[in-house]
Structure 1
Amino acid sequence: MTGAAAVPVAAGRGAGSGLLCTVAGPLPASAVRGPVLAHEHLALDLSRGTGPGAVLGARHRCAIAAELAAVRREFGLALVIELTCRGMGRDLAGLARIAAASGVAVVAATGWYYEPFHPPGLDRAHPERLAETLIEEIRDGRGGIRPGVIGEVGSHGDVPSGPEARVLTAAALAARATGLPVATHARLGRGGRAQLELLTAAGLPPDRIALGHQDLLDDPAVHRELAAAGAYVGFDTVGKEDYQSDAVRLRLLLALLEAGHADRVLLSCDVSRHRYLAGEGGTGYGHLFRSFVPRLRAAGADAELIDGLTRRNPLRFLTGRDLPYGTTGGDPS
């Protein structure tokens, strides 16, 4: 490793600091008193790869802010981990406006998405050079905004392509140098094992990794394996019934909880098209708390477990530090 190893963690941020890097500046994790959405999009443009509906643009900004504010009032939503990165139509200034208008803190991301969305030339770049690009942004920010997570970096098969492997390795190197965690995109839940192997081979501890979209993979054994290795398992497409029913998601989640891995789960809705917004008839950002959490509660989850799943787990993922139950937060219902 070259320059990436020599860059120190920025003051007041990184694993163990207890501070979140939000679009409005540093925020103590202990000040997050309500639930967290662990994998969302508030501003993105994937239209060139998946069609014109895969957009959350400036014209949707007011509706998104209003919806987040409503979820904050109804369920106490305190923080959104926004995983739109390079190549996905990221809009840092737009995120800052949404956070200010909604009263919900937002953590922004950096990194590169999976291969169809890579910019020209990325397939030839060395992982260390890519890592240096990420480290510079994490250290210096863009327009006064610093990312607080690396993601969603990813792949779209059982084994990452060559360019995807380089991006994942670069993400791990940058995470090691800065203390930020890495969140992945595993298309349709596939490839989580390979992603974990690549990231840990580059020296990133499993507990700094969240493997995305595992609720789209109906394989409890894989979920147990990933969680037992120490990684976070993303049940982060809740409400996307076109991909997987919430009934199946609940069954898979309960199996993972029963296996003793409640501290390895991250929950979210992954709103990634404007038709998913509540104002356009979609399930919206509040579906997790309005529909899925009550079903989880009916299956036997108590307030402490729900607080762990919706608040303490994502905050531990971001900071590397545990928060106790009972001093802040609670059951988002």
Structure 2
Amino acid sequence: MNHLAPPALRTVAGALEASAVRGPVLAHEHLVLDLDRAGDGAAVLDAEHHTPAVTAELSNLREEFGLCLVVELTCRGMGRDVRALARTARESGVAVVAATGWYYEPFHTPEIETHDVDALTEVLVREIEDGIDGSGIRPGVIGEIGSHGDVPTAAEAKVVRAGARAALATGLSVATHAQLGRGGLAQLELLTGEGLPAHRVSVGHQDLLDDPGVHRELAASGAYVAFDTVGKAAYRSDGARLRLLLALLEAGHADRALLSCDISRHGYLRGEGGQGYGHLFTDFLPRLRAAGADDDLIDLLTRRNPLRFLTGATVEEN
């Protein structure tokens, strides 16, 4: 097994040296996806109908805020389209990292039921080494590996363990989906139980869990704590998110926090009246600055931390 990080970021356009990323990174987003289970088309970002608006938003954020990189966590069973991601990256000038893995159980694809952990690991490793869907585009992260509830189901546990094994085999990191922030500690236990170092793990949606003790425990283990639904007011106010983030920072874990907006339906796009991918920059970071954050802390949270997560670099190496 190879425990070494890849020498560069793996983007949809090829290798990119981390040192070339001089501006902020959105650590958990979706640019193309289809999570429509209700039949109303709301939980969709369609390559034909919505990608032009997505591309325009990213281009504007590059020009206004220097956005350099988006970690796109749409994986198997979520309507992934890496060719559309490549077009968006090319036309917006913003680098994009694509993903492989499986979401939580309601979105599992048929092989989850029929394959054991080793076989699922082989599926992921094959995509990482050979590319996705014949495109030649290689994923640069494993995620968003999903579970719901305080403990993953048996099927979800298989996926989590396969994600860990594929990460060890390829040098990629693992980003999780913890439904409503729950179950992150159980996810981390499964991942590290397979031998994956905690600093190669980002536990998702922790801004939806009002439990600073869990956040501290995750961070103290070495894992990244993702505050990645910024702006989703229907789930939690940004005021509550800011309180939870400040508690983690005050506990000495600034080097373990990640920030993003998790845009996951077309109604969140700016052109449709939503908060957009830029909400982090236009609204949340100004609130964080008003609470005392300086430029170095903002750079740590929005650039250095996500780059360290993706590459496996330590704080000392950063």
Q: Please say if 1:90 is aligned against 2:89.
A: no
**Separation (CA, whole Å) in 2 of partners of 1:324 and 1:83:** 27
**Separation (CA, whole Å) in 1 of partners of 2:109 and 2:55:** 30
Q: Please say if 1:289 is aligned against 2:278.
A: no
Closer/same/farther in 2, CA of residues 49 and 203 from structure 1, 3 Å limit: farther
**Separation (CA, whole Å) in 2 of partners of 1:251 and 1:323:** 25
**What does residue 227 of structure 2 align with?**
235
Q: Please say if 1:153 is aligned against 2:136.
A: no
Closer/same/farther in 2, CA of residues 62 and 80 from structure 1, 3 Å limit: same
Q: Deviations along 1:244-301, whole A, 9 cap, x unmatched? A: 0000000000000000000000100000000000110100000001100010001001
- Partners of 2:103 and 2:177 within 8 A in 1: yes
**What does residue 106 of structure 1 align with?**
96
How far is 1:120 from its partner? Answer: 2.0
Residue type at the aligned position of 1:137:
E
Q: Please say if 1:67 is aligned against 2:57.
A: yes
Following superposition of structure 1 onto structure 2, how do residues 157-306 of structure 1 map, counting pairs within 5 Å? 157-306=149-298
Closer/same/farther in 2, CA of residues 168 and 324 from structure 1, 3 Å limit: closer
- Partners of 1:312 and 1:323 within 8 A in 2: no
Please, which runs of 5 or more residues in structure 1 have no aligned partner? 328-333
How far is 1:321 from its partner? Answer: 2.0
Q: How much is the aligned-residue C-alpha RMSD, in angstroms?
A: 1.6
**Separation (CA, whole Å) in 2 of partners of 1:48 and 1:312:** 36
Aligned with 2:304 (options 297, 307, 312): 312
Question: SS state of the match for residue 154, structure 1?
Answer: strand
**What does residue 33 of structure 2 align with?**
44
**Separation (CA, whole Å) in 2 of partners of 1:50 and 1:223:** 35
How far is 1:51 from its partner? Answer: 4.9
Closer/same/farther in 2, CA of residues 260 and 286 from structure 1, 3 Å limit: same
Q: Please say if 1:31 is aligned against 2:20.
A: yes
**What does residue 331 of structure 1 align with?**
none
Aligned residues: 315
**What does residue 44 of structure 2 align with?**
55
**What does residue 21 of structure 1 align with?**
10
- Partners of 2:6 and 2:172 within 8 A in 1: no
Aligned with 1:125 (options 115, 118, 137): 115
Residue type at the aligned position of 1:72:
R
Residue type at the aligned position of 1:288:
L
**What does residue 330 of structure 1 align with?**
none
**Separation (CA, whole Å) in 1 of partners of 2:162 and 2:282:** 38
How far is 1:121 from its partner? Answer: 4.0
**Separation (CA, whole Å) in 2 of partners of 1:37 and 1:255:** 22
TM-score by length of structure 2 reads 0.96
How far is 1:324 from its partner? Answer: 8.8
Q: Among the aligned pairs, what percent are the same residue?
A: 69
Which shifted more, 211-220 or 113-122? 113-122
**Separation (CA, whole Å) in 2 of partners of 1:227 and 1:65:** 33
Closer/same/farther in 2, CA of residues 296 and 258 from structure 1, 3 Å limit: same
Residue type at the aligned position of 1:96:
A
**Separation (CA, whole Å) in 2 of partners of 1:324 and 1:160:** 34
Please, which runs of 5 or more residues in structure 2 have no aligned partner? none
Question: SS state of the match for residue 253, structure 1?
Answer: helix
**Separation (CA, whole Å) in 1 of partners of 2:254 and 2:288:** 13
